[in-house]
């Protein structure tokens, strides 16, 4: 509708009147949306006042910001709100905010558009935040999680109501870490690529480079120094993901440092149930692979992807010729002195 109005203006004509400018299939649904009418008119009015040389910048921004999902994966520039002629910035922002709000009030079938989007994703067995993999999504019918603007509305207004730009995200990722960060622009204004939460690329987390007895002290115990690697192709996109959502910091601080000792305590209890007391450190360490295979769950439930990696690290450390004896004794102490 924006481009059709701009085409008419560029050709020296008046844009189609309301409601004839609306797509016929949606006309009955939208013609009573007076906010849409006024905000679209405001944008086109300011567009008409631009010089012929300024108008292509507006059209380029509309086309590029809505070129989803290509804009996530290519390196081509993407015009921002700040790059538009000053007079069109306010009406563009007002229209964007209005359109995004309409996703919660426009019905499609039995539900509103935002709820339908969330329900379809939940029904596709996506039950965890695609950005951190840590937090569960609530079921449809409960207060739903936010739809995260990958391209923030304050920077890329023309993608404000594009569902392809609105994957669900946990409250922590959306409100604490992502906020209004421009995911396409890094330090120094350099263009960067990002992972698309719908099609990837995705990454496996590895702790293989971590070092035992060289990390933070928690509860009187020196933990491993966590080296968190994202294994997969197109590492520049992984680094954008990490930078925007602070993935490595959160995994190390909020999960590994916070939970590692409780995981070891659980292993100790499991070993005692399975084998009883009176075993040496070699026997205690020998059961780690079976624990990983039989107890640590696959997938993301209960942070199992990190827990399995942590126990894989423990297993390798127990067999390390340099520190293996110390690590095995450390683990044996947890079993021997378990209550």
* pLDDT for residue 314: 97
Read off φ and ψ for residue 251, nearest 5 degrees. -60, -45
Confidence of residue 302 (pLDDT cuts 50, 70, 90): low
C-alpha span between 234 and 74 (Å, rounded): 12
Strand, helix or coil at 147? strand
Q: Of 128, 183, 188, which is closest to residue 153 (Cα–Cα)?
A: 183
Distances (CA, A) of 154 to 59, 60, 108: 18, 17, 27
301 pLDDT above the threshold of 70 = no
Q: Return the bridge partners of 136, or none.
A: 128
Residue 324: predicted pLDDT: 98
pTM of the model: 0.90
* R_g over Cα of the chain: 27
Element (H, E) at 135: none
Q: Could you give the percent of the chain with pLDDT greater than 70?
A: 98
Q: Encoding tokens for residue 255?
A: 């999960």
Average pLDDT, the chain: 93
pLDDT at site 126: 82
Q: What are phi and psi of 326, to 5 degrees?
A: -65, -40
Q: What is the pLDDT of residues 34-81, one digit of tens each?
A: 999 999 999 999 999 999 999 999 999 999 999 999 999 999 999 999
Sorting pLDDT into bands at 50, 70 and 90, what band is 32? very high
Which of 111, 113, 119 has the alpha carbon at shortest distance from 138?
A: 119
pLDDT in tens, 109-167: 888 998 888 888 888 888 889 899 998 888 888 877 777 899 999 999 999 999 999 98
For tokens 């009418």, name the residue: 37
Q: What are phi and psi of 295, to 5 degrees?
A: -115, -45
Q: What is the mean pLDDT of residues 88-100?
A: 97
Q: Which residues pair with 279 in a beta bridge?
A: none
Q: Is 206 helix (H, G, I), strand (E, B) or coil?
A: strand
From residue 69, alpha-carbon distances to 3, 75, 195, 221 in Å are 20, 12, 10, 46
């Amino acid at each position: 509708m924006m481009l059709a109005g701009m085409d008419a203006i560029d050709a020296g004509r008046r844009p189609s009147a309301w409601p004839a400018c609306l797509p016929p299939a949606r006309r009955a649904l939208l013609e009573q949306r007076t906010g849409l009418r006024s905000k679209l008119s405001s944008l086109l009015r300011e567009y008409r006042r631009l010089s012929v040389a300024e108008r292509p910048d507006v059209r380029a921004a509309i086309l590029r910001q809505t070129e989803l999902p290509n804009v996530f994966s290519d390196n081509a520039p993407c015009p921002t709100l700040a790059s538009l002629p000053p007079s069109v910035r306010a009406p563009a922002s007002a229209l964007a905010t209005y359109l995004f709000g309409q996703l919660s009030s426009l019905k499609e079938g039995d539900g509103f558009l935002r709820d339908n989007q969330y329900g379809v994703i939940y029904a596709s067995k996506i039950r965890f935040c695609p950005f951190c993999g840590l937090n569960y999504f609530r079921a449809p019918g409960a207060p739903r999680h936010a739809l995260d603007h990958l391209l923030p509305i304050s920077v890329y207004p023309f993608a404000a109501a594009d569902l392809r730009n609105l994957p669900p995200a946990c409250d922590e990722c959306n409100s604490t870490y992502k906020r209004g960060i421009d995911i396409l622009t890094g330090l120094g204004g350099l263009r960067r690529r990002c992972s698309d939460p719908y099609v990837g690329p995705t990454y496996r987390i590895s702790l293989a480079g971590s070092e035992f007895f060289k990390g933070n002290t928690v509860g009187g115990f020196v933990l491993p120094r966590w080296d968190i690697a994202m294994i997969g192709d197109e590492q520049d996109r992984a680094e954008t993901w990490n930078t925007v959502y602070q993935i490595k910091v959160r995994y190390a601080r909020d999960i590994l440092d916070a939970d590692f000792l409780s995981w070891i305590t659980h292993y100790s209890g499991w070993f005692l149930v399975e084998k009883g007391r009176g075993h040496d450190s070699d026997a205690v360490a020998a059961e780690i692979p079976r624990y990983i295979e039989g107890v640590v769950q696959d997938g993301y439930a209960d942070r199992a992807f990190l827990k399995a990696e942590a126990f894989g690290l423990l297993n390798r450390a127990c067999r390390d010729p340099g520190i293996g004896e110390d690590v095995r004794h450390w683990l044996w102490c947890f079993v021997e002195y378990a209550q």
